[in-house]
């Protein structure tokens, strides 16, 4: 729990980190090229909104060519829908599409001013990527992560072996977009201990240029959104596995009783069952609090490969 004392300590630490930050980072006006790593459901959405709303060219990196092809096909579908609803013209759609430049290698990020990582929620994978980004990207580039739960301070620390050298770690921040990115306005801005004020300002400005509404939160397990949302989803799964209610009743009561577009089990399918488990594990392990214990059924579903909408089967069939 973040007590006022811890909050004050965090704020002081952030101020302290600002004093150490030596490398000036890009300002939002200087974000002339964005990099996005991971062309999955979040990365593709971020890339498309950045091209469409902020009007910046995007280098979209995914090691899996099939994921890139699938992502760009989805972008084409969303743009065609915008044209058919007369929200944009065909010319505008073509221009937006031409701003998306795919690549299967991170070396393509050599000229970006701002990069947003959206690869799966695996700590070691993210640490490796940020260690590489510190080498590949220009020395002013902001290095942002879309992580749902991994400590930003720890991700920032992976950029260097020398903790006194904050030239790269001060440029690490989280821009935690909400799913689906083209629709949800909210974005959580989470700072690590090392994050500089210029980095915070630029990230907020750039998210606003993407048409988003930023909220700031401290680097604490689950941050704000998932600290609140995931125990809710996990509890719904426990209700299902212990027979308190069936799938449709659980979703119906929350949908019709709290005026949300979908119930917690359908939402879990949309987020990804594996992502939900990864976040619950972080909450449980980082706080040591049994109230965050991931449900047994959640673990079993991941073991079965029933990951929700993306795998065709979750609590519902797709």
Residues marked active site are found at: 148, 176, 188, 226
Instruction: Quickly list DSSP for 117-183.
Output: E---S-HHHHHHHHHHHHHHS-TT-EEEE--SSS-HHHHHHTT-S-TT--TTGGGEEEEEEPSSTTT
**Contact region for ligand NAD (CB under 6 A) — 56-64, 85-93, 135-143, 155-163?**
56-64
Environment class of 60 (CB within 10 Å of its CB; exposed 0-12, middle 13-18, buried 19+): buried
Residues 274 and 239 sit within 8 Å (Cβ to Cβ): no
The closest of 154, 118, 139, 141 to 206, measured between CA atoms, is 141
Q: Looking at residues 295 to 314 of the shown chain, list those that interact with ligand NAD (rule: CB under 6 A).
A: 310
Shortest distance in whole angstroms from residue 12 CB to ligand NAD? 29
Element (H, E) at 114: strand 114-117
Residues 143 and 133 sit within 8 Å (Cβ to Cβ): yes
Q: Is 63 in the site for ligand NAD (CB under 6 A)?
A: yes
Closest residue to bound ligand NAD by CB: 40
Residues of each annotated binding site: 38-43, 62, 121, 126, 148, 179, 310
Contact pattern for ligand NAD over residues 251 through 290, marking x by CB under 6 A:
--------------------xx--x---------------
Shortest distance in whole angstroms from residue 205 CB to ligand NAD? 21
Shortest distance in whole angstroms from residue 276 CB to ligand NAD? 9
- If the CB atoms of residues 17 and 203 are measured against ligand NAD, the closer one turns out to be 203
Q: Looking at residues 20 to 39 of the shown chain, list those that interact with ligand NAD (rule: CB under 6 A).
A: 37-39
Cα torsion angle, 16, 21, 22, 26, sign = negative
**Contact region for ligand NAD (CB under 6 A) — 13-21, 60-68, 81-89, 131-139?**
60-68
- Angle ∠(106,107,108) on CA atoms, nearest 5: 85
Q: Is 120 in the site for ligand NAD (CB under 6 A)?
A: yes
Question: Helix/strand/coil (H, E, C) string of 16-29?
Answer: HHHHHCCCCCCCHH
Q: How far apart are CA 211 and CA 191, in angstroms?
A: 21
Residues of each annotated binding site for NAD(+): 38-43, 62, 121, 126, 148, 179, 310
Site for ligand NAD (CB under 6 A): which residue of 67, 144, 187, 193? 67
Q: How far apart are CA 141 and CA 131, in angstroms?
A: 14
Q: Is 43 in the site for ligand NAD (CB under 6 A)?
A: yes
Shortest distance in whole angstroms from residue 37 CB to ligand NAD? 5
Q: Is 41 in the site for ligand NAD (CB under 6 A)?
A: yes
Cis? peptide before 260, omega within 30° of 0: no
- Residues found near ligand NAD in the complex (CB under 6 A): 37-43, 61-64, 67, 118-121, 125, 146-148, 176, 179, 271-272, 275, 310
């Amino acid at each position: 729990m973040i007590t006022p004392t811890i909050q004050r300590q965090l704020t002081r630490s952030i101020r302290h980190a600002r004093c150490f930050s030596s490398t000036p980072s890009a300002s939002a006006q200087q974000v002339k090229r964005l990099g996005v790593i991971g062309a999955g459901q979040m990365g593709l959405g971020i890339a498309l909104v950045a091209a469409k709303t902020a009007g910046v060219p995007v280098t979209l990196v995914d090691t899996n060519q099939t994921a890139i092809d699938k992502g760009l096909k989805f972008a084409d579908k969303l743009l065609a829908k915008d044209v058919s609803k007369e929200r944009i013209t065909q010319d505008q759609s073509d221009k937006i599409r031409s701003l998306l430049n795919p690549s299967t290698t991170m070396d393509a990020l050599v000229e970006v001013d701002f990069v947003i990582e959206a690869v799966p929620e695996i700590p070691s994978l993210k640490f490796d990527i940020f260690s590489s980004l510190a080498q590949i990207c220009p020395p002013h580039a902001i290095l942002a992560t879309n992580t749902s739960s991994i400590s930003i301070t720890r991700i920032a620390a992976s950029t260097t072996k020398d903790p006194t050298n904050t030239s790269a770690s001060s440029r690490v921040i989280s821009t935690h977009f909400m799913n689906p990115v083209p629709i949800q306005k909210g974005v959580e801005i989470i700072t690590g201990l090392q994050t500089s004020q210029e980095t915070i300002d630029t990230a907020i400005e750039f998210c606003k240029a993407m048409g988003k509404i930023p909220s700031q939160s401290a680097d604490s397990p689950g941050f704000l959104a998932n600290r609140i949302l995931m125990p809710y989803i996990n509890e719904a799964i426990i209700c299902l596995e212990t027979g308190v209610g069936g799938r449709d009743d659980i979703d119906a009561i929350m949908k019709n009783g709290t005026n949300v577009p979908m119930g917690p089990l359908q939402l879990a399918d949309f987020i990804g069952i594996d992502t939900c488990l990864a976040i619950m594990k972080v909450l449980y392990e980082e706080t040591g609090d049994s109230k965050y214990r991931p449900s047994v059924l959640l673990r079993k579903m991941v073991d079965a490969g029933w990951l929700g909408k993306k795998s065709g089967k979750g609590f519902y069939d797709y």
